[in-house]
Chain A
Amino acid sequence: MSLQVRFITRLQKYSVPDTTLVIPSSSTNSQLEAILKGLLQQTTGSSNDFSRLSFDFLCLNQLIRSSLEEHIREKDESLLESIIEIEYIEKFQAPEPEDALMHDDWVSTCKSLGDTILVGSYDTKIHLWNNQGEHITSLPGHTAPIRSLIFIHSDEGEHEFISGSHDQTILIWKYDQNKNSVKSLITCKGHQGTIETLALQKSIFASGSFDKTIKLWGLEEQQQQEQTSTKECRVTINAHNENVSSIGWNSSNELVSCSWDQTIKLWNMDTIQSTQTFKCGKAVLSLDISPVNGLLICGFTDRFIRLYDTRVQEGYVLRSTFSSHSQWVPSVMWSRTSEHLFVSGSYDGLVKLWDTRSLKAPLYDLQGHEDRVLCVDWSVDQLILSGGADNSLKMFSFK
Chain B
Amino acid sequence: MTSIKRKNSLIENDEIDSDEEVPSNTIGENVPLKWYENHEHIGYDLEAKKIAKPVSAGKSDEIDEFLEKMENADYWRTVYDDLTGQNVTLTNEDIAVIQQIKNAQTYPDDHVYEPWVDTFSSEVMIHPILNTPESKASFIPSKWERLKVGKYLHAIKMGWIKPAPPKEDPLSSNSYDLWSDETRTNLPRSNIPAPKLELPGHHESYNPSYEYLLDDAEVEALKAKMESDFDENERATKTIFIPKKYPSLRQVPAYDQFVYERFQRCLDLYLCPRQKRLKANIKDINDLIPDKPKPQDLHPYPLVQSLIYEGHKNIIRCLTCHTSGQWLASGSDDCTVRIWEIATTRCMNVFTFEKPIVSIQWNPVLSLLTVATGSQIVMINPRLGENAKVLFTDEFIKQLAYESSSAATDDCQWVKTSDENDKYIRLTITHSMPIRQIEWQARGDYLACILAPRSDQSQSKSILIHHLSKGRSQYPFKQLKGAVQHVRFHPTKPIFIIATQHSIKIYHLLKQQLIKRLYVNTKWISSIDIHPLGDNIICGGYDSKINWFDLDLSVKPYETYRYHKRAIRCIRYHTRLPLFASTSDDGTCIISHCSVYSDLLKNPLIVPVKILRGHQIINDLSILDCLFHPTQPWIFTSGADSTIRLFTN
How distant is A143 from chain B, measured CB to nearest CB, in Å? 10
Query: B388 near A: Cβ within 8 Å?
Result: yes
Query: A389 near B: Cβ within 8 Å?
Result: yes
For A282, the chain B residues whose CB sits under 8 A away are 649
Residues 59-79 of A, flagged 1 when their CB comes within 8 A of B and 0 if not, give: 000000000000000000000
Q: Which residue of B lies closest to A327 (CB)?
A: B306
Q: A168-B387, A211-B386, A282-B649 are in contact. Are A243 and B325 (CB under 8 A)?
A: yes
Let me know if B325 and A301 touch, CB within 8 A. no
Q: Which residues of chain A (197-217) have a CB below 8 Å from chain B?
A: 210-211
How distant is B306 from chain A, measured CB to nearest CB, in Å? 6
Q: A210-B324, A260-B632, A283-B632 are in contact. Are A301 and B306 (CB under 8 A)?
A: yes
Query: B300 near A: Cβ within 8 Å?
Result: yes
How distant is B644 from chain A, measured CB to nearest CB, in Å? 15
Let me know if B344 and A281 touch, CB within 8 A. no
Let me know if A389 and B344 touch, CB within 8 A. yes
In the assembly, what is the distance between CA of A281 and CA of B326, in Å?
A: 19
Let me know if A330 and B324 touch, CB within 8 A. no
Query: A396 near B: Cβ within 8 Å?
Result: no
Let me know if A193 and B648 touch, CB within 8 A. no
Let me know if A347 and B385 touch, CB within 8 A. no
Query: A192 near B: Cβ within 8 Å?
Result: yes
Residues 321-356 of B, flagged 1 when their CB comes within 8 A of A and 0 if not, give: 000111000000000000000011110000000000
Let me know if A193 and B324 touch, CB within 8 A. yes
Q: A260-B631, A347-B307 are in contact. Are A192 and B325 (CB under 8 A)?
A: no
Let me know if A302 and B649 touch, CB within 8 A. yes
How distant is B76 from chain A, measured CB to nearest CB, in Å? 134
Q: Which residues of chain B (592-649) have a CB below 8 Å from chain A?
A: 631-632, 648-649
In the assembly, what is the distance between CA of A283 and CA of B631, in Å?
A: 11
Query: A194 near B: Cβ within 8 Å?
Result: yes
Q: Which residue of B lies closest to A167 (CB)?
A: B387
Q: Which residue of B lies closest to A245 (CB)?
A: B343
In the assembly, what is the distance between CA of A193 and CA of B388, in Å?
A: 10
How distant is B391 from chain A, measured CB to nearest CB, in Å? 11
For B326, the chain A residues whose CB sits under 8 A away are 193-194, 210, 243
For B632, the chain A residues whose CB sits under 8 A away are 242, 260, 283
Output the residue of B306, B343, B346 with the most chain A CB within 10 A: B343
Let me know if A281 and B346 touch, CB within 8 A. no
Residue from A106, A242, A328, A330 within 8 A of B346 (CB atoms): A106
Output the residue of B306, B345, B346, B385 with the most chain A CB within 10 A: B346
Let me know if A192 and B648 touch, CB within 8 A. no
How distant is B152 from chain A, measured CB to nearest CB, in Å? 75
Let me know if A192 and B387 touch, CB within 8 A. yes
Residue from B344, B388, B648 within 8 A of A301 (CB atoms): B648
For B300, the chain A residues whose CB sits under 8 A away are 281
Query: A374 near B: Cβ within 8 Å?
Result: yes
Residue from A192, A210, A374 within 8 A of B344 (CB atoms): A374
Q: Which residues of chain A (279-311) have a CB below 8 Å from chain B?
A: 281-283, 285, 301-302
Q: Which residue of B lies closest to A147 (CB)?
A: B344
How distant is A327 from chain B, measured CB to nearest CB, in Å? 7
Q: Which residue of A lies closest to B387 (CB)?
A: A168
For B386, the chain A residues whose CB sits under 8 A away are 192-193, 211
In the assembly, what is the distance between CA of A93 and CA of B631, in Å?
A: 43
Q: Which secondary structure dominates where chain B touches chain A?
A: loop
How distant is B58 from chain A, measured CB to nearest CB, in Å? 139
Q: Which residue of A lies closest to B305 (CB)?
A: A327
Residues 526-558 of B, flagged 1 when their CB comes within 8 A of A and 0 if not, give: 000000000000000000000000000000000
Residues 281-312 of B, flagged 1 when their CB comes within 8 A of A and 0 if not, give: 00000000000000000011000001100000
Residue from A108, A192, A285, A302 within 8 A of B388 (CB atoms): A192
Let me know if A193 and B385 touch, CB within 8 A. yes
For A211, the chain B residues whose CB sits under 8 A away are 324, 386
Residue from A122, A193, A302, A330 within 8 A of B343 (CB atoms): A330
Residues 199-211 of B, flagged 1 when their CB comes within 8 A of A and 0 if not, give: 0000000000000
Q: Which residues of chain A (234-253) have a CB below 8 Å from chain B?
A: 241-243
For B343, the chain A residues whose CB sits under 8 A away are 243, 285, 330
In the assembly, what is the distance between CA of A243 and CA of B327, in Å?
A: 12
For B325, the chain A residues whose CB sits under 8 A away are 242-243, 260
In the assembly, what is the distance between CA of A145 and CA of B343, in Å?
A: 14
In the assembly, what is the distance between CA of A55 and CA of B344, in Å?
A: 39
Residue from B344, B345, B631, B648 within 8 A of A302 (CB atoms): B648
How distant is A386 from chain B, measured CB to nearest CB, in Å? 15
How distant is A349 from chain B, measured CB to nearest CB, in Å? 13
How distant is B579 from chain A, measured CB to nearest CB, in Å? 16
For A389, the chain B residues whose CB sits under 8 A away are 344-346
In the assembly, what is the distance between CA of A193 and CA of B386, in Å?
A: 5
For B345, the chain A residues whose CB sits under 8 A away are 372, 389
How distant is B564 from chain A, measured CB to nearest CB, in Å? 28
Q: Which residue of A lies closest to B299 (CB)?
A: A281
For A302, the chain B residues whose CB sits under 8 A away are 648-649
For A261, the chain B residues whose CB sits under 8 A away are 631
In the assembly, what is the distance between CA of A260 and CA of B325, in Å?
A: 10
In the assembly, what is the distance between CA of A283 and CA of B325, in Å?
A: 13
In the assembly, what is the distance between CA of A154 and CA of B11, in Å?
A: 172
For A241, the chain B residues whose CB sits under 8 A away are 631
In the assembly, what is the distance between CA of A155 and CA of B107, in Å?
A: 162
In the assembly, what is the distance between CA of A243 and CA of B345, in Å?
A: 16
Output the residue of B325, B344, B648 with the most chain A CB within 10 A: B344
How distant is A209 from chain B, measured CB to nearest CB, in Å? 10
In the assembly, what is the distance between CA of A87 and CA of B346, in Å?
A: 47
Q: Which residues of chain A (220-245) have a CB below 8 Å from chain B?
A: 241-243
For B299, the chain A residues whose CB sits under 8 A away are 281
For B631, the chain A residues whose CB sits under 8 A away are 241-242, 260-261
In the assembly, what is the distance between CA of A374 and CA of B648, in Å?
A: 18
How distant is A33 from chain B, measured CB to nearest CB, in Å? 38
In the assembly, what is the distance between CA of A372 and CA of B309, in Å?
A: 12
Residues 366-385 of A, flagged 1 when their CB comes within 8 A of B and 0 if not, give: 00000010100000000000
How distant is A303 from chain B, measured CB to nearest CB, in Å? 8
For B385, the chain A residues whose CB sits under 8 A away are 193
How distant is A34 from chain B, measured CB to nearest CB, in Å? 42
For A285, the chain B residues whose CB sits under 8 A away are 343
How distant is B308 from chain A, measured CB to nearest CB, in Å? 10
In the assembly, what is the distance between CA of A243 and CA of B632, in Å?
A: 11
In the assembly, what is the distance between CA of A21 and CA of B307, in Å?
A: 51
Residues 451-482 of B, flagged 1 when their CB comes within 8 A of A and 0 if not, give: 00000000000000000000000000000000
In the assembly, what is the distance between CA of A192 and CA of B323, in Å?
A: 14
In the assembly, what is the distance between CA of A192 and CA of B649, in Å?
A: 28
Q: Which residues of chain B (382-407) have a CB below 8 Å from chain A?
A: 385-388
A–B Cβ pairs within 8 angstroms, 14 of them: A193-B326, A193-B386, A194-B326, A210-B326, A242-B325, A242-B631, A242-B632, A282-B649, A283-B632, A301-B306, A330-B343, A330-B344, A389-B344, A389-B345
Apart from A243-B325, A301-B649, A328-B306, what are 19 other A-B pairs with CB-CB below 8 Å?
Answer: A106-B344, A192-B388, A193-B385, A194-B326, A210-B326, A211-B386, A242-B325, A261-B631, A281-B300, A283-B632, A283-B648, A285-B343, A301-B306, A302-B648, A328-B307, A330-B343, A330-B344, A347-B306, A389-B345
What 4 A-B pairs have minimum CB-CB distances, sorted nearest first? A192-B386, A210-B326, A301-B648, A168-B387
